[in-house]
Structure 1
Amino acid sequence: MNILFIVPSYKPAYVYGGPIVVIARLAEQLVQMGHDVAVYTTTANGRQELDIAANSTVMMDGVKVTFFKRITGDHTHVSPALWKAVWTNAKQFDKVHIHSWWNFLVLGASFICKWKKLKPLLSPHGMFCDYVLTARNNRSKQLLHTVMGKRLLRNTYLHVSSELEWRECQEINNGWEGGQVFNLVDLPAGSYARIEQDVFTISFLSRVDPKKGLDLLIRALGRVSFKYRLLIAGSGDEQYVQSLKELITSLDMDNNVEWVGWKGSEDKFHFLAATDLFALTSRNENFAIVVIESLFVGTPVLISDQVGLAGYVSRHGLGWITGIESVDAISDQLTAAYQDKVRRQQITRNAPAQIRDDFNDARLASSYVALYEKCN
C-alpha cells in the first residue's frame, strides 16, 4: 500500500512525548513490511523549530518525511505549504492516516480530504478524552467542534488504542466506524535482571503533570501502614513539582520519596526492573506506553481505571486497578499489592512473554494494514 501520514510533528520532536515515538515506529514497521509510507509534518518542536530545512524531504529510517514550514509557533501548527501538498497529492495514496486533532493543521487537512472525497483514518491519540475536553481551552474546543469539527469527523474512520478511548470517542461522534489496534511500543531485545529490594519500592516514570495523578499517589502512600520507598522519575513544570515536594513534606514523607530525574531509553528499563511495583494513578490516559515497558521487564503495575490499558491489565491479571474517586481506594490497592507477594512473583514470571506476544511489531502493523483495508 501507498500510505500518507499527516501529523503536526514528527521525530526528532520528542518534546511532544509518546505519540511521536508511536507514530514513527508504526511508519517504520510498515516500510519494513514492504509498504510505502510518506509523512507530511511540520518543523514544530515545541516553541522552537527543528533544525531541518523547511519544505524539505528527507529519508528517515526508510520513511519519506517532508517537513513543511509552519507560520504559527504555537499548538495551532498552521502550515499552508502542507495544506497545498495535501491538496495536490492526497489522491495519489491508497490511504490517508491523520494523527492528532484540535489544531488547525489537521482540521485543514481533514477539510481538504473531505473536499477531495477522501475518507481518512483518524488516530486522535487521546484528544477526545474528558480530561482534555474539560481541562484545557474547553470553550475554544467546543466552538471548533460546533463550527466545523463534527462535520469533519463524520468524514473519517476512527482508530483507537484502547477500549476506554473507543468509548470516549463514540460520545463525541456516535456510530463512528473504525477499529482498535494497540500502539507499537519500542521494546529492546533481551531480558532484564530483577533486583530484590530491602524495602517495598514503587516507581513512577512519566511527565510530572497534574493529569498523571502523582499527587493522588503521594496522598495515598501517606495513609499506608507498610514501609515503602517511592522513586519519582520525571520532570515537569517547576512550580507544580515544587507543590508536590511541599505536599510530601507536609505528609512527613521526605525520607520515603526520592526524585531520581528523568530516565531515558537506555536507563528506564533498568530503573523499572529494580522496583517492586510501578504506579500510575492518572486522571486520564488513553494508552500509557510505560505500563507496557514496566510489564516487559516483569514489574507488576498499579494503575487507575482511567488508564486506557486498565482493561488489558485486568484481563491478563498483570496488576491492580484502582478508582481515583477517593485516596483511600488507592491506598487500599497499594496495600493489596504489597501484601500479595505471590501474585507479584507470578506477574514477574508471566508478564514479559505476554507482552512480547501481544506487542509484536509485525503483528500489530499487520493489524493496521487490515484496518486500512477495512476502512476504504
Structure 2
Amino acid sequence: MRICLVSHSFFPAIFYGGPIFATWGLSKKIANNNVNVYVSTTNANGNVKLDILTNKYIQKDENLFVKYYNEQIIHKFSFSFLLGIWTDIKKSDLIYIQYLFHYTVFLALISSLIQNKKIIICPRGSFSSFTLNNRLKYIKSFWLRFFVKPFANKISWHASSYLEVDDIRNHLPKTKIIEVNDGIDFESFQNAKKIDKCDLVKKFAKIRFDKVSEVIFSMGRLHKIKRFDILIEAFFLYKQGNKKAKLLIAGGDDGAKKELSKQIKKLKLEDSVFLIGMVNFKEKKELLSNCSVFCLASECESFGIVIAEALACGTPVIVSDKTPWKLVKNKKIGIFAENKIRSFFQSLKQIETLKILPSNCRNYVRDFLDWEIVSETFIKSFLIKK
C-alpha cells in the first residue's frame, strides 16, 4: 500500500508544535509496518522557510519519503505544489490529509475526489468554534458548505480526541468518525538529566537567582488561542504568596508576543515571568522533567501532545477545561481547571498538596499513549480492510 500524506507543514517545521511531532511520529510507525508513506508538504516553518531540498522526495526513514514543495508566497501558495499534487495522489492508494482550511487541502481534496481515491482527513481543530469564528470565517463557511459537506460521506474522518469527535459531528452528523489519539515516543522522555531549579532558570531566562521555589512551565506558539494571558494573570496572584516562584513560557511568536510582553511589564513580573522562545527536543525534555508543574491554558486543543510529553516526564499538569484532558483528575495525574484566571490560580495553590506520584503520570502515557499502541490502533482503524 502507498499512502500520500498531505500536510501544509512537516517535520522539522517545529514552529507549529505538537501536530508536527504527532504527524512525524505516526508516519514513521506506519512506514515501519511495511506501508509506503509519501508525504506531500511545503517548506514553511512559521514565517520562514526550512533550509531543505525542495520539490523532490527525500527518504527520511525506511518506507518514508517526504517532498517539501517550495512556497512562492509563504503560507499562501506553492506553484510546484499545484503542479505536483495531482501526480502524487495518482500514484497512491490512500490519501491522508491534515487540517482543513489551507490551499494544500483544497488542491489535495479536489484531486483525490476526481481520481476517486480513498480519503482520510484529520482536521486538527478545524471544526472547533474558535477556528470557525476567527479569521476568514465566511470563506471557511463557504468552503465547508460547497466543498466539504457534499462529499463528507466519501471521507473517513480521523478525530484526535473526544472533543474533536463532537466538533466534527456537530457539522457532519452522518459521517464516519474514528477517534485515535496522538501519541509520543515514551522512552525518549525517560532518564532526563536532573537540574537544580536555580540552574534551570539561569539556563533559559539568562538570570541567576539565589533561590527559586517553584518553576511553572508552559509551552506553545505565542498565539491568542493559547491564552498565556490567563496563565500570567493567575501566576501574578500565585506569586503574592510565593515570592520565589518563576514562570517560563516557551514558543515562537505567532502574533501574541508583543501583548504578552506588555502584560508582564504592566504586572511588574519582569523578574518572574520569562518568554524564552523556541526550544529544541533536548531543552524541552529538560524543562518538562525539572519544572514543578506544567500548565496549559489553551482556548482550544484538538489533542495537546505537550500534555502527554509532560506526563511522560513524570510531571503533574494543570490543563484548561477547553482541552480533551478531563481524565487527568480521575487518573490523579493533574488538575482539569476552568479556563479562567481564578481557577488556574487556585489550581497552582492546590497542585502541590495533591502529592501526585511521578510514576502515575509516566504509567498512564506508557500504557495508553506510546506510539507502539497508538499506531497499532490507527492501522487497525484505517488501513486494514474489514
TM-score range, shorter chain: 0.7 to 0.9
Residues 231, 258 of structure 1: 8 Å contact kept: yes
User: Cα 1:26–1:173, aligned 2, differ >3 Å: closer, same or farther?
Assistant: same
Question: Is the counterpart of residue 359 in structure 1 residue 359 in structure 2?
Answer: no
Point out the more displaced range, 40-49 or 140-149. Answer: 40-49
Identity %: 22
| Structure 1: runs of 5 or more not aligned | none
Q: Which amino acid in the other structure matches residue 321 of structure 2?
A: D
Q: CA deviation at 1:98?
A: 1.3
Question: Is the counterpart of residue 319 in structure 1 residue 362 in structure 2?
Answer: no
Q: CA deviation at 1:294?
A: 1.0
User: Cα 1:289–1:56, aligned 2, differ >3 Å: closer, same or farther?
Assistant: same
Q: CA deviation at 1:47?
A: 4.8
The 5 Å alignment of 1:125-274 reads: 125-187=124-186, 188=188, 190-192=190-192, 199-224=213-238, 225-227=240-242, 229-237=245-253, 240-274=256-290
- TM-score, normalising length: structure 1: 0.87
What SS does the aligned partner of 2:169 have?
A: helix
Point out the more displaced range, 239-248 or 272-281. Answer: 239-248
Aligned match of 2:87: 85
Q: CA deviation at 1:252?
A: 3.8
Q: CA deviation at 1:172?
A: 2.1
User: Cα 1:85–1:67, aligned 2, differ >3 Å: closer, same or farther?
Assistant: farther
Question: Is the counterpart of residue 293 in structure 1 residue 309 in structure 2?
Answer: yes
Aligned match of 1:7: 7
Question: Is the counterpart of residue 17 in structure 1 residue 17 in structure 2?
Answer: yes
The 5 Å alignment of 1:32-71 reads: 32-62=32-62, 63-70=64-71
Q: CA deviation at 1:267?
A: 1.3
User: Cα 1:83–1:33, aligned 2, differ >3 Å: closer, same or farther?
Assistant: closer
Q: Which amino acid in the other structure matches residue 344 of structure 2?
A: I
Q: CA deviation at 1:332?
A: 2.1
- Deviation per residue, 1:252-285 (Å, 9 max, x gap): 4344323444331011111122221111111111
- Deviation per residue, 1:310-337 (Å, 9 max, x gap): 133234221001112x422222222222
- Deviation per residue, 1:43-90 (Å, 9 max, x gap): 444455444454312211221223345555334556222332145324
What SS does the aligned partner of 2:125 have?
A: coil
What SS does the aligned partner of 1:97 have?
A: strand
What SS does the aligned partner of 2:222 have?
A: coil
Q: 1:16, 1:238 → 2: CA distance?
A: 9
Q: 1:96, 1:74 → 2: CA distance?
A: 21
User: Cα 1:170–1:315, aligned 2, differ >3 Å: closer, same or farther?
Assistant: farther
Residues 107, 149 of structure 1: 8 Å contact kept: no
Q: 1:313, 1:144 → 2: CA distance?
A: 36
Q: CA deviation at 1:215?
A: 0.4
Q: 1:112, 1:356 → 2: CA distance?
A: 39
User: Cα 1:239–1:189, aligned 2, differ >3 Å: closer, same or farther?
Assistant: closer
- Deviation per residue, 1:177-202 (Å, 9 max, x gap): 13111213244163236667651331
Q: 1:194, 1:73 → 2: CA distance?
A: 40
Q: 2:255, 2:89 → 1: CA distance?
A: 44
Q: 1:246, 1:336 → 2: CA distance?
A: 28
Q: Which amino acid in the other structure matches residue 90 of structure 2?
A: T
Residues 76, 103 of structure 1: 8 Å contact kept: no
Residues 6, 104 of structure 2: 8 Å contact kept: no
- Deviation per residue, 1:118-142 (Å, 9 max, x gap): 3311111222211111122212211
How many aligned positions are there?
Answer: 367
Residues 40, 85 of structure 2: 8 Å contact kept: no
Aligned match of 1:108: 107
User: Cα 1:48–1:210, aligned 2, differ >3 Å: closer, same or farther?
Assistant: closer
Aligned match of 2:202: none
Q: 1:88, 1:319 → 2: CA distance?
A: 47
Question: Is the counterpart of residue 372 in structure 1 residue 382 in structure 2?
Answer: yes
User: Cα 1:349–1:67, aligned 2, differ >3 Å: closer, same or farther?
Assistant: closer
